[in-house]
């Protein structure tokens, strides 16, 4: 059973917005796209760019530093099957708070200054 922690309130993340949150040394990028909430690893694996500051179009976020893109639903990069961001389940409780958990594979996001995972 996943462990959930409060990361933000819905008031802090209205539709069309994003927010970077650190928890236990890890960085998460939280998004509200048209009322759909998403949470992914907040550090771009290319050079550590802040994904929460990236442009969101549809379900794709673009890293503001060098343009790498990731699907908010899957974490997949459209140009490379080898690179994928962790995606976290989100739950809303008491209509004002939501929590990302570990990703669907059980991995945790990297903190700032941590190297990206090795590409396989």
Does a structural domain hold residue 73? yes
Does a structural domain hold residue 16? yes
CA distance 36 to 55: 16
CATH of the domain at 94: 2.102.10.10
Tell the residue number behind the tokens 């976020």, with chain if given.
Answer: 61
Q: What is the phi-psi region of residue 35: left when phi exceeds 0, alpha when psi lies from -120 to 50, beta otherwise? A: left
Would you place residue 113 in the very low, low, confident or very high pLDDT band (cuts 50, 70, 90)?
A: very low
Would you place residue 96 in the very low, low, confident or very high pLDDT band (cuts 50, 70, 90)?
A: low
Extract the tokens encoding 34.
Answer: 């048209």
Domain count, the chain: 1
Please tell me the predicted confidence (pLDDT) of residue 84. 95
Does a structural domain hold residue 69? yes
Mean pLDDT over residues 13-29, rounded?
95
> With a threshold of 0.85, does the pTM exceed it?
no
Domain boundaries, position 15: 8-100
Please tell me the predicted confidence (pLDDT) of residue 54. 98
Tell the residue number behind the tokens 């760019």, with chain if given.
Answer: 49
Would you place residue 111 in the very low, low, confident or very high pLDDT band (cuts 50, 70, 90)?
A: low
């Amino acid at each position: 059973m996943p462990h959930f922690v409060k990361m933000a309130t819905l008031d802090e993340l209205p539709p069309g917005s994003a927010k970077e949150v650190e928890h236990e040394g890890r960085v998460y990028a939280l998004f509200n796209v048209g009322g759909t909430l998403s949470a992914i690893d907040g550090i771009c694996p290319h050079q550590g760019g802040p994904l929460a500051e990236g442009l969101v179009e549809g379900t794709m976020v673009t890293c503001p530093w060098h343009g790498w893109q990731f699907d908010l639903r899957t974490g997949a990069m459209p140009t490379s099957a080898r690179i994928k961001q962790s995606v976290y389940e989100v739950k809303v409780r008491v209509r004002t708070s939501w929590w990302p958990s570990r990703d669907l594979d059980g991995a945790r996001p990297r903190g700032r200054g941590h190297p990206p995972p090795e590409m396989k």
